[in-house]
Amino acid sequence: MTDFSTIDITEAKKLLSQKKITATELTEFFIKQIEEKQDLNCFITKTFDTALKMAKRSDEKIQNGSDIGLLEGIPIGMKDLFCTDGVKTTAGSKILENFVPFYESTVSQNLWRNGAIMLGKTNMDEFAMGSANTTSFFGNVLNPIRSDDQKDLVPGGSSGGSASAVASGQCFAATGSDTGGSIRQPASFCGLVGLKPTYGRCSRFGMVAFASSLDQAGPITKTVSDAALMLQSMCSYDEKDSTSSKKLIPNFSDYKKFDLKGKKIGLPKEYIIDGLNEEIKKKFDHCVNVFRDCGAELIDISLPHTNYALPTYYIIAPAEASANLARYDGVRYGLRENSENLDDLYQITRASGFGDEVKRRLIIGTYVLSAGYYDAYYLKALKVRQLISNDFKYAFEKCDLILTPTTPNVAFPIGEKQSDPLEMYLNDVLTVPASLAGLPAISVSAGNNNKNLPIGMQIIGKPFEEISVLAAGSAIESSKEEK
């Protein structure tokens, strides 16, 4: 069997259209990969029968040359946060262990309509709360890249299963969700491309909600070109989502025609902190040069409230989550721990069904909204969010794009940073601000460190200017190849 793990979607589409390969061949290949790489624990549910049926349909369409979708015949992984009709959807949680939706999320629906093939539901941190995929009820996900001393490394989170699956060649691409960095950070840890579009680009209908004002679906892919194709297939205006944007959806692949010459790239001083990992700094500097070589202008900018982004996020996200997860009560679906009275039913079911990290955040979220604390915490956080958003607005008056490292670190061994939740939260320090401001942001691999671990660079763009963000990502990607 040909090794399809070395090609990307863009290449595969060419081969499919040239009838050099079939969708069924591709699907069979990835099924075998998934079966061989189970130790990475990327998939919670495998849908091989369905995948083969979908592949057959794609092959028919390609044969007839009719009705060919943008991702026709392309096998992908679907993060287990997206409700898939008739297919178990767990959000990585015990409380939804056996939940089978009878409806489909808009994002997954769009992908199937575009001809993509569902290989299975990928593993994730429970309810998307985590940065290392170590909080899933279904076990940790491993990064396919191992440390020099052969330790198991985290793939990042919460879309760890998706990132690891793509990086290990178990699928061409996978969907992720990003609330505070959950697409970009695992992409960075696994040497991939992760794109969080502008808030409102992708519909949240059928997406298990974590923090409604922050959640966004997006692709995790091997290349920028693939990311554009995936995003194109995923996003749509959805009248079933009141926060879905009506803004015109461009052809994202037009990033290839976007000229970086004369564009201004902002370098925020608050992100290039003292004590930033040396090798990450080196890669950052390299990217600065890449942009200079493209003819872009580099300017120093300031995003003064950057340091307050994480605390702001860790008030707002848990607060929204505390309400979004109140529905998991054992009554209408999901886990139920039977008891004699209603109160116990609720309390014991939720204590049993939720993991520690989720519980922690729900307690914080409930606390910051409760009487007496609302003004000091939640209301305050909303105001600081405004200031953070304003920082970007003012910065974007001076520049077109912003360059930062994606994470302050590289993939770390599983088991590290587990003693203190705060340590884990700090993984998100560089990704959270763009989430709070709802801006499009991409993480692209800028090469590896001297231990062969991937380093990711982040580019943040103006609202709805994903094309510029993709173009900048592509410039970094090309330079990596040259090295």
Partner 1 sequence: MSFFIDGNTGKWEVVLGLEVHAQIKSNSKLFSTASTEWGGDPNTQVELVDCGMPGALPVINEFCVNQAILTGLSINAQINEKSIFDRKNYFYPDLPQGYQISQFEYPIVGNGFLMIETEDGEKRIGITRLHLEQDAGKSIHDQDIKNTLIDLNRSGCALMEIVSEPDLRSPEEAALYVKKLRSILRCIGSCDGNMEKGNLRADVNVSVRKPDSEMGTRCEIKNVNSIKFIQQAIEYEARRQVELIENGKEIIQETRLFDPNKGETRSMRGKEESHDYRYFPDPDLPPLIISKEKIEELRKSLPELPDEKKSRFISEYNLTNYDAQVLTDDQYVSDFFEEVVKNRDPKLVVSWISVELFSFLKKNDIELSESKISPKKIANLLDFIISGKISNRQAKELFEPYLKSNLEAKDFIEKMGVEQVSDEGEIEGLINRVLQQNPKMVEDYKNGKDKLFGFFVGQVMKESKGKANPQIVNKILQDKLA
Partner 2 sequence: MSIDNSIVRKVGKLAKIKIKESEEKKLIDELNNILGWVDELKKVDTEGVEPMLSVFNESMNMREDKSDSKFSNDLITKNSPEKKAGFFVVPKVVE
- For the chain, the straight-line distance linking the first and the last C-alpha, in angstroms and rounded, comes to 31
| Residues within window 207-226 making contact with partner 1, judged by CB under 8 A | 207-209, 211-213
If residue 43 lies in a helix (H) or strand (E), which one and from where to where? Answer: strand 43-46
Catalytic residue among 136, 168, 182, 233: 182
The region of 27-35, 271-279, 321-329, 466-474 touching partner 1 under the rule CB under 8 A is 321-329
The region of 21-29, 59-67, 111-119, 374-382 touching partner 2 under the rule CB under 8 A is 374-382
Rule CB under 8 A: is residue 244 a binding residue for partner 2? yes
Q: Who's near 468: CB < 8 A, 6+ residues apart?
A: 255, 258, 263, 400, 401, 461, 462
Rule CB under 8 A: is residue 276 a binding residue for partner 2? no
Rounded to whole angstroms, how far apart are CA atoms 48 and 62?
21
Q: Which is nearer to partner 2, 83 or 167 (CB)?
A: 83
| CA angle at 230 for the pair 229 and 235, rounded to the nearest 5° | 105
Catalytic residue among 105, 108, 158, 225: 158
Which of 343, 397, 481, 482 binds partner 2 (CB under 8 A)? It is 343
- The CA–CA distances, whole Å, from 272 to 120, 231, 267 equal 39, 30, 8
Rounded to whole angstroms, how far apart are CA atoms 483 and 476?
11
Q: Is the dihedral of CA 372, 376, 377, 378 positive or negative?
A: positive
Least separation in angstroms between CB 88 and partner 2: 10
Query: Is the separation of the CB atoms in 384 and 305 below 8 Å?
Result: yes
Least separation in angstroms between CB 125 and partner 2: 17
Residue 105 near which of partner 2, partner 1, none (CB within 5-8 Å, type-dependent): partner 1
Quickly tell me which residue has 């003064």 as its tokens: 304
Strand order through the sheet with 193-196: 43-46, 117-122, 75-79, 173-178, 216-221, 193-196, 441-448, 454-461, 401-405, 264-268, 297-301
Rule CB under 8 A: is residue 376 a binding residue for partner 2? yes
Query: Is 158 among the catalytic positions?
Result: yes
Which of 54, 83, 303, 410 binds partner 1 (CB under 8 A)? It is 83
Contact characters 180-209, partner 1, x per CB under 8 A: ------------------------xxxxxx
Contact characters 393-432, partner 1, x per CB under 8 A: ----------------------------------------
Query: Is the separation of the CB atoms in 80 and 44 below 8 Å?
Result: yes
CB atoms under 10 Å from CB of 471, counted, come to 25
Least separation in angstroms between CB 59 and partner 2: 32
Residues labelled as active-site residues: 79, 158, 182
Which residues sit at the interface with partner 1, rule CB under 8 A?
A: 82-83, 89, 91, 96, 99, 101, 103, 105, 204-209, 211-213, 239-243, 319-320, 322-323, 325-327, 329, 331-333, 342, 346, 366, 369-371, 374, 378
